[in-house]
Each structure stands twice: as structure tokens, then as C-alpha cells.
């Protein structure tokens, strides 16, 4: 699919760089480089690049669609942070020396975005998101559909990709996986405690209930109520021309805002209705949403459990208030929290109101045959921003 929008992203130094909070003149230099995926060849746009001074003032910018960045930062020895999403799943830290009125270049081998998250996927019959993950240089562990019934198993992971076709008889051993209530309950608990999931096409049934897919709108056994989103199994083969990317950050990151999308299989699950207060539309064709996301799901009755890699045990995501009045989401070491708290920052993502993870649903995906075109960079963006 192809999508259109206006991009308003500052990629030159960041507001904090221009107006330090103490308003005193400081000596600065420039740090330049290019952010790559772990494979060392794929440039990554939209990554936040920042340093923190001894007063916990954050100087930040964002990488351009071609991966390049230029950051003005205070003179001295510091750590350059590169993060995508909220910084918990993918991040890199690089020691740099900023020289007054000089430009310091970061080598490409040092500015690769590292995987921190433990990622799992359930094999599907039509979607192969794991291929895109591997091509970026990252690692995902295959788990079975039946592993979703074991909360101890899935809680080891930060992200779970639920491919289209992963609820077929081959994967589930039953024609009625909609009766596997433990799968819905475990996914609900996983997300409530900070885990994130990707679902594509027929995998909508993981959200609202259903067997192989979702046939029509109505009450189901899933953990998301049909009043928040409902699907119909009515998509047809063909091209969706001139789609638009509704999310400005995504469009800025991948360098385009319109695309054409090929649907190569019939009877894909269309988004019939979504609650705009619960979901954000990322990609759409006219008024029809094609990819949606939320971080607003929470189940107050879910047990409190630890989710994800131990590598994040001493890290936390915060919303940092910049001197210009903007807010940015970053992940920091817990040891720095008290100073950030005194600065007025708060725990959690700036856009969130819970500690829950993200839920992505997409009608298009990495089908096994044919050229997926410009949907490829969109799916790469999703992987790095879950």
C-alpha cells in the first residue's frame, strides 16, 4: 500500500541543544554518523540519538531516512545513545569525545543498532515476518502455537510475532482454536505486563477471538472487545493504490508517505471498525485503516509478572521534558532516575498511560511469494519500534 503525509521532524540537533536549561553559554561540538541495522548495510531512520550531560540535560536529534544524523552536544567525554521505539528493545551506547567547535565522526561499525529484546514468533502459513527480522541481522526464536498456552514460556520474551496462518490446523492441531482460552488469557497478561505483539491478517483472531481467522464482527472469546475493534473476512485480491502513512514518525523514518499495496490472497481480515480513542491508525486507504497500533490495553485482573530479557532489569523507560517544552521517550539506566525525576521527568512512555506493551495489527504482511514493495520498509519499522 502507498500512503501520504506531511513530515514535521527536527533532525538537526534537537531542541535541547539549542536552549540548554541553565541558559548559560556552553562549549559544544558536533557528532555525526549513520545508524545501521545489525546487518551493517540497512540504514535506520527515525532512531533517537542523544547524549546526557552532568546535569541530566538531554541533547537529542533523530536519524534521517538514510540513517544519517548530526548532533550538537556539550564538549567532553560522553556516551552517545541510539535507540528506536522506547529504547528497551533496540539500543546502542557508544563512548565519544566531543571537541569544541569540531565534528566527531562515529564509525559505521559502532553505530549499528543492537538487539536487546528477546523475540519470538509463531510460524504461519502466509506471513513470514521472521525472514525480515533475520535479513536485518536480528534473531527471533520460533515457538509453537501450543507454547502460547504456557505463561512461563512466553514471559521470557519481550516481543512475540503472531503470523497470519498460525492458527491453522497444522499449527494448532484443532479446527477450533477459538476454544483455547488460555492463549487469550496469557496474551492479555503478557501485554499488560509490558510485552508487545505483532499480529497480521488472520492473526486478528488472537485479539478478538475466532478459529483460523475472524469471520465477522461480534462478541468473541478474545481479550479485546469487539467494540474496540472488529474484523470481517472480506478482503479481496488486488492493488490498493495511493495509500497514506498516517503516522508522521513512521513516514519520516522510512522516507515516503504514500504507497501501493498488493493483496495477493483473497479473504483477508479487513478492519471493519476501530475505536479511535484506543487505536492509532498508521496506514490507511482513504478512511479504511490498514495498519493500527495501541499501547492502551490493560487487564486490571491480570497477574503481575516479569516479562522479557534480564538485560533490561536495570533500565527503565521515561518521558523526558525538554527545555523547549517538548517530551521525548528514552530508556535510561535506573541509577540515573532520581536526577531525571528531580528534573520533572516521569516513568513510562510519553504517549502511554499504562505500563503495557504495544499491539500492532496489519492487514498486509510478508507474503511468501511476490514483491512486497514499499510495505517492506514499513514492516522493518514495526519490528524496530515494537
In sequence order, which residues have a C-beta less than 8 Å from that of residue 142 and are 6 or more positions away?
Answer: 120, 121, 122, 123, 130
90 within a domain of the structure (yes/no):
no
Q: How far is CA 272 from CA 206, 230, 267, in A?
A: 16, 6, 13
* Cβ contacts of 266 within 8 Å, gap of 6 or more: 235, 236, 237
CATH number at residue 229: 3.40.50.880
Q: Residue 237: phi, psi to the nearest 5?
A: -65, 140
Which ranges of the chain does DSSP label H, i.e. alpha helix? Answer: 15-18, 129-135, 151-154, 169-172, 181-192, 205-208, 248-254, 337-343, 375-385
**Cβ neighbours of residue 333 under 8 Å, at least 6 residues apart?**
314, 315
Within-domain flag for 179: yes
3-state secondary structure of 377: helix
Q: What is the dihedral of CA 310, 94, 198, 196, to 10 degrees?
A: 40
pLDDT in tens, the chain (386 residues): 434 333 334 434 444 443 344 456 789 999 999 999 999 999 999 999 999 998 888 999 999 999 999 999 999 999 999 999 999 999 999 999 999 999 999 999 999 999 999 999 999 988 899 999 999 999 999 999 999 999 999 999 999 999 999 999 999 999 999 999 999 999 999 999 999 999 999 999 999 999 999 999 998 999 999 999 999 999 999 999 999 999 999 999 999 999 999 998 899 999 999 999 999 999 999 999 999 999 999 999 999 999 999 988 899 999 998 888 889 999 999 998 998 888 889 998 888 666 899 999 999 987 645 568 899 999 999 999 99
**Cell reading at 220:** 468473541
What is the Cα–Cα distance from 127 to 124, expressed in whole angstroms? Answer: 6
Predicted local distance difference test score (pLDDT) of residue 12: 40
- pLDDT confidence of residue 324: 81
> Would 47 be classed as within a structural domain?
no
Number of domains in the chain: 1
Q: Is residue 98 part of a domain?
A: no
Q: Report CA-CA distances (Å) from 79 to 36, 92, 196.
A: 18, 10, 28
Domain of residue 146 covers 119-304+354-385
d(C-alpha 69, C-alpha 34), whole Å: 6
Residue 3 has a pLDDT of 41
For residue 210, tell me if it sits in a domain. Answer: yes
Regarding pTM above 0.85, the answer is yes
Nearest to 342 by CA among 56, 25, 28: 56
In this structure, is residue 329 part of a structural domain? no
On whether residue 149 sits in a domain, the answer given is yes
How far, in whole angstroms, is CA 205 from its chain's centroid? 21
Residue 336 inside a domain? The answer is no
Amino acid at each position: 500500500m502507498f500512503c501520504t503525509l506531511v513530515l514535521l521532524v527536527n533532525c538537526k540537533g534537537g531542541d535541547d541543544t539549542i536552549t540548554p536549561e541553565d541558559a548559560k553559554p556552553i562549549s559544544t561540538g558536533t557528532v555525526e554518523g549513520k545508524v545501521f541495522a545489525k546487518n551493517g548495510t540497512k540504514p535506520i531512520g527515525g532512531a533517537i540519538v542523544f547524549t546526557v550531560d552532568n546535569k541530566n540535560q538531554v541533547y537529542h536529534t533523530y536519524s534521517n531516512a538514510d540513517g544519517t544524523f548530526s548532533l550538537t552536544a556539550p564538549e567532553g567525554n560522553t556516551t552517545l545513545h541510539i535507540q528506536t521505539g522506547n529504547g528497551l528493545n533496540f539500543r546502542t551506547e557508544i563512548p565519544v569525545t566531543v571537541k569544541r567547535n569540531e565534528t566527531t565522526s562515529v564509525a559505521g561499525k559502532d553505530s549499528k543498532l543492537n538487539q536487546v529484546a528477546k523475540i519470538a514468533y509463531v510460524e504461519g502459513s502466509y506471513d513470514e515476518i521472521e525472514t525480515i527480522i533475520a535479513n536485518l541481522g536480528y534473531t527471533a526464536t520460533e515457538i509453537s502455537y501450543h507454547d502460547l498456552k504456557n505463561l512461563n514460556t512466553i514471559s521470557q520474551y519481550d516481543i512475540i510475532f503472531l503470523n497470519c496462518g498460525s492458527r491453522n490446523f497444522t499449527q494448532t492441531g484443532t479446527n477450533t482454536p477459538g476454544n483455547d482460552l488460555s492463549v487469550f488469557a496469557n496474551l492479555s497478561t503478557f501485554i499488560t505486563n509490558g510485552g508487545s505483539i505483532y499480529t497480521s491478517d488472520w492473526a486478528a483472531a488472537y485479539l478478538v477471538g475466532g478459529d483460523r481467522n475472524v469471520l465477522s464482527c461480534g462478541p468473541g472469546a478474545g481479550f479485546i472487545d469487539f467494540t474496540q475493534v472488529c474484523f470481517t473476512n472480506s478482503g479481496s485480491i488486488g492493488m490498493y493504490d495511493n495509500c497514506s502513512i498516517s503516522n508522521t514518525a513512521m513516514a519520516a523514518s522510512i522516507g515516503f508517505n504514500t504507497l501501493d499495496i498488493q493483496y495477493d490472497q483473497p479473504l483477508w481480515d479487513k478492519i471493519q471498525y476501530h475505536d479511535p480513542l484506543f487505536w492509532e491508525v498508521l496506514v490507511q486507504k482513504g478512511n479504511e485503516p490498514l495498519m493500527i497500533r495501541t499501547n492502551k490495553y490493560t487487564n486490571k485482573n491480570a497477574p503481575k509478572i516479569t516479562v522479557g530479557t534480564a538485560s533490561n532489569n536495570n533500565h527503565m523507560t521515561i518521558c523526558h521534558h525538554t527545555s523547549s517544552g517538548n517530551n521525548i521517550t528514552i530508556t535510561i539506566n535506573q541509577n540515573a532516575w532520581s536526577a531525571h525525576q528531580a528534573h520533572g521527568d516521569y516513568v513510562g512512555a510519553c504517549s502511554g498511560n499504562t505500563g503495557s506493551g504495544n499491539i500492532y495489527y496489519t492487514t498486509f504482511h510478508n507474503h511468501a511469494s511476490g514483491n512486497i514493495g514499499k510495505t517492506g520498509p514499513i514492516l522493518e519499522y514495526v519490528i524496530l519500534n515494537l
